[in-house]
Structure 1
Amino acid sequence: MLDPTSSLAEGRRAYAASDWSGALAQLSAAREQTSLDAEDISTLARAAWWLGRVPESLAFAEEAFRAFLDADRSVDAAMTALQLGLLWVTRGDLTIGNAWVHRARRLLADEPDGPAHAYLAYLDASFAMMFEGGSEWDEHVDRLADLAVRFADPAVEALALAVQGLATLRRGDCAQGFALLDEAMLPVLAGRLPVEWAGDIYCTVIHVSHELADFRRMEGWTRATERWCAQFGSEAIYTGICRVHRIELRSARGEWTDAEESIARECADLAGGNPWVAGEGFYQLGELRRRRGDRAGAREAFAHARSSGIDPQPGEALLLLDEGDATGARTLLTLSLAERDALARVRLLRATVDVALASGDREGAESAAAELRRAADRFGSPGFATWSAHADGMLALADGDHASALAALRRAEASFRTDRQQYELARVLLLEAQAHEMAGDAAAARAAHDQARGILDRMGARVAEGVAPAPADGPLTPREREVLALVAEGAGNREVAQRLFISEKTVGRHLANVYLKIGVGTRTAAAAWWHAQQVAGDPGDASGAHHAGGPVPGSA
C-alpha cells in the first residue's frame, strides 16, 4: 500500500516546483488512501487547472468548497465559490457562474469587509459592464476602490485598477483607461494574484485592446504574458477568447501557415463549453478563408458564427461584396449597425464606407466616414484613427481627388506597417497604386502595386484588384483598361461604375482619356479596338484579367 503521507508531501513539493502533472498524480494518490484537508484539495484543483483539465479542476474546487464549509471557514469557502463563479463564466455558462457568485455573496454578507469582498466587487463590476447598460457598474467600481485603499493587498489593488480602467475606457478616455489597465498588469506579471484571477485580468486587457483596435498594446502584453507563462510550462491562463485573439494577432501579421488549422481546432474545443467564444473563433476563421479566396469555406464559418450567437459582420457583408452583391452587403451592415452601441459600431464603419461606395451611395459613405472620424477622436484609439484614414482615402479616391486620397492612405499605410498588419497594408498599397495612376505617375503606381502583390503572394491572400499595371509603353492605364473591357462587353456607364465601385463621372472621365489615347470618338470604335487587341494578344491589354464582380482594389 502507498504511504499517503509520502504522496501528500511529494504532491505539495511538486506543486511548489510548478510540476503540475506530478502534483496532480501524487495528491490524487494520497486522496485515494486518506481524506485530504481543504487546502490540499484546493491545490489539486489548481494543478488540474494549470494542466488545462478544467472539468477536473471544477470538480476538485467544488469538493474544496464543501470541505471549507465543513471546517467552518466561511471566508475561504466564499473565495472558492468566487473562483468557481469566475471559471464557469469564462467557460460560457453564466447561469452556473452567477449561482456560485450569489452563494459567495450570501456567505460574505455577515463577514467583516476583507479581501474576499474585493473579489466579489470585481466580479459584480465586470458582470455589470458585460451585461448591463448605462453606468450601473459605478457602485461596484467605487466599492472596490474603497476596499483597495483599506486593505494593502497587491491583488486587490490590481483588481481595482482593472475595473477602473474598464470604466474609464467605456466613458471614452482611452489614454487614462489603458494606463490603469497597464498598471493592473504589473502585479499580474509579478505573480501577486491567484492564477485564475491573473488570467482574467490579462484576457480583459487583451480583449479590450482588440475591441479598441490598439494592436500595439495587444501585441506587447501578449508577448509579456507568453514569457510569464513559459516559466510555468502552461498556457492555462489563456481563456478561450484570448486564444482566439492570439491567433488573430498572428494572422494579422501574415503568419497564415498554421492559422486556419489552429482556429478550427480552437473552435472545436470551445464549441461545447463556450459557444460565444467559439462563435468569435468561427468569425475569425471565416475572415481568414475569405481573404484566401475560399468563399464557400468562409460562408460556412460565418454561418457557424451566427449559430453560436455572433453576428459575423463585417466579414459576411464583405464576402457578398467580393461576390458582387453590394446591395446584400449593404443590407447586412445596415441591420447590424442598428443593433450595436457606439463602440461596437466602429468595427463596421470602414466596411460601410466601402459598401456604400460600391452601391453608389456617396452620402452614406460620407456619413459612415464622418462617424468613424468622430469615434477616433472620442476614444483616442490609434487603430480607429488608422481605419478612419483608410476610409477617407477610399472616399477621396472615389471622388477622383488623388492628392487627398494619397495623403490619407499614407497615414494608414504608416500605421499598418508599424502594427505589422500585412493584409491591411497590402489593401492600402493597392489603393495608393490607383491614386498614383490617377495622378499620372505610372512608376509610383507600379511600385505600390508590386509591393502589395508581393505581400499578398507571401500570405496566400487574394484581393480582387482588376488588372495588373500595364507595361510602361502600354497606351492605357490599368483602370482605363478595366473600364474599356467592360464597355466592350456591352456595359453602360452605370453598370461599369457599379461593377468597379467608382462613380459614373469617373467612368466618363476614363472613357474620354481612352478615346484620346487610341484615337477614336465613339464607344463602338473603342470596343472594336479592344477586341482587336485581344485577338492580337497585345502585351499591353488586360488579357481578360479584369474582375467583373469584385471590389475596388484593396477594398475587402
Structure 2
Amino acid sequence: MLTARLDTLSDLLAAARSAYRSGDWETSYASFSRAGAIGPLNVDDLDAMAGAAWRSGHTGEAMRVGELVYLRLTRTDPNSAATKAVELGSAWLSRGEVAVGYSWIRRARGLLAGAPDSPVLVWLTYLETVVAVLSDDVDQVAERSAALRELASRAPEPEPAFEVGELLEAIGEQRLAALASAVEQAHPRTAGQACYRLGEVRRLRGDVDGALAAYATAHRLGVMPQPGEALLRCALGDVDAAWAEIQAALTEADERGRARLLRGAVEIAFARGDLDSAERHLRELSVSAPDTLPDALLHAQLLIRRGRFSDALAVLRAALREFRMRGSEHEAAQAYRWMAAAHRGLGADDLAAADEAAARLHGG
C-alpha cells in the first residue's frame, strides 16, 4: 500500500510540473492540490502551486500557499524570501489591499537591509513608490522615486516575477498619471505600461483625446499601445485601419503579449462582420492562453452572431458560475448582457429582460 501511495504522489507531481511548464494552470493547480493531500510538497512545488493558483483565478489559495513558501524560505534563503514577499506585496496591491500589500513590502525591506543592488531591490523600491502614490503621500513619492532613479542607474531593469498589468489595473486614472511621472526616468518601460493602462481607462470612459495622448506617451516610452489604440480607432468607425493595426501588432508580438492582442483582434473582427477571422483568432487564443474564462464571453458572442443561441447560453451559464465564484462583477454583468441577447434571439423576451436587470445589479 505504501508503495502504491508513493507512486500516486510521484505521478501527481509529475503531472502538476508538466502542466505548469506547458501553461495549463488549472490542471497544474489541481494536481498539486491532490499531491499535497497525500504528502508534503517541497518549496519549489509549493511555489509553482501558488503561481498556478493565481493564474487560474484561485487567488485566495494562491495567497495562502505563497505565504507558506515565504515562511519556509525565511528559514533557509532570506533573499528568496524577500523576493516572495515582494510578489505577495504586489499581489495584494493588485487587489486594492494597500495596507496588507505594504506589510509584505516592509517585510521584504527588512530582509534586504544592507543587501547589494539586485533586480528584486529595484522592484521593491518601485512598489514602495506605488504605495506612496496610492497613499497620496507627495513627499514619499518624491523620495522613493529619487531612490528608484538612483538604484536603476546602477542595476538593470528587471523582468518582474509578477504581472505588472495586474497591479496597474488596481490604480485609478490620476494615480496612474502620477505613477508614470514618478518612474519615467528610472524605468521608462514601466512608466509606458502605466501610460498604456491610463489610455485604456480613458478609452473605456469615452475620453478619445486623452486616450490617444496616453497611448502616444506609452509608444514613446517603448510600449506598443495595442490593442487599445486599434480598439479606439474601431470605435471611432475606422474599422479597416484598426484591423490593419492589430494584424501588424500580432505579426510583431512575442508569445507573452499575443493573447491580449488576440482578444482585441476578435473584437475588431466582429466589428468588420468577419466571423471566420474572429473564430480563427479565438481558436489560437484557446491554445495560447489556457486560462480562457474571460474569453468565454467572446466565444459566446461568436455563437450568438452565428445564430447558435442555445449553445451560447450554455457557455455563458458556465462562465457566469465561475465569475460569481471569483467575485468578478464586471464580467458577470457582461455575461448577463450577452445572455439577454441570446434569449432575445430565441424569442424569450421575458428572460432577456430579467438578464438585463441582473446585469444592472452587477454594475453593467
TM superposition score category, shorter chain reference = 0.5 to 0.7
The equivalent of 1:468 in structure 2 is none
The equivalent of 1:228 in structure 2 is 104
The equivalent of 1:342 in structure 2 is 255
| Counterparts in 2 of 1:348 and 1:243: CA distance versus 1, 3 Å | closer
| Counterparts in 2 of 1:342 and 1:421: CA distance versus 1, 3 Å | same
Map 1:46-195 to 2 at 5 A. Answer: 169=20, 171-174=22-25, 175=28, 178-179=48-49, 181=51, 186-188=68-70, 192=74
Q: 1:446 and 2:325 equivalent?
A: no
Aligned amino acid, residue 182 of structure 2: D
Aligned amino acid, residue 274 of structure 1: H
- Name the CA distance, whole Å, in 2 between partners of 1:223 and 1:440: 50
- Name the CA distance, whole Å, in 1 between partners of 2:293 and 2:308: 19
Cα distance, 1:392 vs structure 2:
1.1
- Name the CA distance, whole Å, in 1 between partners of 2:178 and 2:96: 25
SS at match of 1:238: helix
Cα distance, 1:427 vs structure 2:
2.8
Map 1:208-247 to 2 at 5 A. Answer: 219=95, 225-229=101-105, 236=125, 238=127, 245=165, 247=167
Aligned amino acid, residue 357 of structure 2: D
| Counterparts in 2 of 1:184 and 1:428: CA distance versus 1, 3 Å | closer
The equivalent of 2:320 in structure 1 is 413
The equivalent of 1:541 in structure 2 is none
- Name the CA distance, whole Å, in 2 between partners of 1:268 and 1:294: 20
| Counterparts in 2 of 1:362 and 1:231: CA distance versus 1, 3 Å | closer
Structure 1 unmatched ranges of 5 or more: 1-164, 210-215, 252-258, 458-556
- Name the CA distance, whole Å, in 2 between partners of 1:307 and 1:196: 35
- Name the CA distance, whole Å, in 2 between partners of 1:190 and 1:356: 49
Q: 1:375 and 2:300 equivalent?
A: no
Cα distance, 1:227 vs structure 2:
4.3
Q: 1:403 and 2:316 equivalent?
A: no
SS at match of 2:170: helix
- Name the CA distance, whole Å, in 2 between partners of 1:332 and 1:319: 11
Deviations 1:382-432 (A, max 9, x none): xxx213312210110111111111122233333333333333333332222
The equivalent of 2:170 in structure 1 is 250
- Name the CA distance, whole Å, in 1 between partners of 2:191 and 2:227: 18
Cα distance, 1:449 vs structure 2:
2.1
Cα distance, 1:285 vs structure 2:
1.0
TM-score by length of 2: 0.62
Q: Once superposed, what is the RMSD of the aligned Cα atoms?
A: 4.0
- Name the CA distance, whole Å, in 2 between partners of 1:245 and 1:436: 35
Cα distance, 1:302 vs structure 2:
1.2
Aligned amino acid, residue 304 of structure 1: T
The equivalent of 1:322 in structure 2 is 235
Conserved? CA contact 2:250–2:258, under 8 Å: yes
| Counterparts in 2 of 1:454 and 1:287: CA distance versus 1, 3 Å | farther
The equivalent of 1:264 in structure 2 is 177
TM-score by length of 1: 0.42
Deviations 1:107-126 (A, max 9, x none): xxxxxxxxxxxxxxxxxxxx
Which of these residues, 359, 362, 370, is aligned with residue 275 of structure 2?
A: 362
Larger Rg: 1
Cα distance, 1:364 vs structure 2:
0.6
Aligned amino acid, residue 188 of structure 1: Y
Aligned amino acid, residue 246 of structure 2: L
SS at match of 1:300: helix
- Name the CA distance, whole Å, in 1 between partners of 2:340 and 2:248: 33
| Counterparts in 2 of 1:228 and 1:184: CA distance versus 1, 3 Å | closer
- Name the CA distance, whole Å, in 2 between partners of 1:166 and 1:249: 30
- Name the CA distance, whole Å, in 1 between partners of 2:86 and 2:315: 33
Q: 1:281 and 2:132 equivalent?
A: no
Identical columns (%): 29
Q: When the two structures are aligned, how many residues end up with a matched partner?
A: 273
Deviations 1:64-92 (A, max 9, x none): xxxxxxxxxxxxxxxxxxxxxxxxxxxxx
- Name the CA distance, whole Å, in 2 between partners of 1:446 and 1:189: 51
The equivalent of 1:423 in structure 2 is 330
Conserved? CA contact 1:409–1:432, under 8 Å: yes
- Name the CA distance, whole Å, in 1 between partners of 2:84 and 2:107: 19
Conserved? CA contact 2:329–2:362, under 8 Å: yes
Aligned amino acid, residue 127 of structure 2: Y
- Name the CA distance, whole Å, in 1 between partners of 2:224 and 2:311: 34
The equivalent of 2:217 in structure 1 is 304
Map 1:473-552 to 2 at 5 A. Answer: none
- Name the CA distance, whole Å, in 1 between partners of 2:331 and 2:296: 12
